[in-house]
Amino acid sequence: MNYTVTYRRHVCKFFFIDNMSGWHFSCQPHYNEAWIQETGPLTEEETNALEAFAGIARQYGYESGKWFGRPIAAASSEEQALLDVGNLTCGTNAGTLRDVFGVMEPRFARIWAPDEERLIVLAERLRGKLHSEGMARAVEVA
């Protein structure tokens, strides 16, 4: 068996923005507190962007059957993700989401840089484990 380990920056960025917006009870306040402590207080522009994101997230939330995180997670790039969300929402929110992603980019980039280094190491370790003889035997048994 051949396994591929991938992570996508735009999906991590979506998670960051989604959580920072606090739109749903599942958002983790302690993540937001840690990120703000690491990067400084939100600007007025960021606060407004997160409020706009929260409004869209509520409209296309988990219960709606049109959760807009699904096409973002499936897309191969941020550009494709935003196009796919535009299709899902009939284009009504694509521009706003593009603006939100742009406004939040500098803050996300400060968090992403050290995390990406760790992800590279973890992905390589996971690749090694997935291609180990023990894993091959475990898959054959199942």
Q: Which long-range contacts (CB under 8 A, 24 or more apart) does 68-75 make?
A: 68/93, 68/97, 69/14, 69/18, 72/10, 72/11, 72/14, 73/8, 73/11, 73/14, 75/8, 75/10
Q: What residue has token string 């993700």?
A: 81
- 41 located within any domain: yes
Query: pTM (2 decimals)?
Result: 0.85
Can you give the residue range of the structural domain that contains 35? 9-141
- 3 located within any domain: no
DSSP 76: S
- 27 located within any domain: yes
- 4 located within any domain: no
pLDDT string in tens for the chain (142-residue length): 677 778 899 999 999 999 999 999 999 999 999 999 999 999 999 999 999 999 999 988 888 888 888 888 899 999 999 899 888 887 778 889 999 999 999 999 999 999 898 988 998 998 888 888 777 676 665 5
- 1 located within any domain: no
- 2 located within any domain: no
Give me the number of domains the chain comprises. Answer: 1
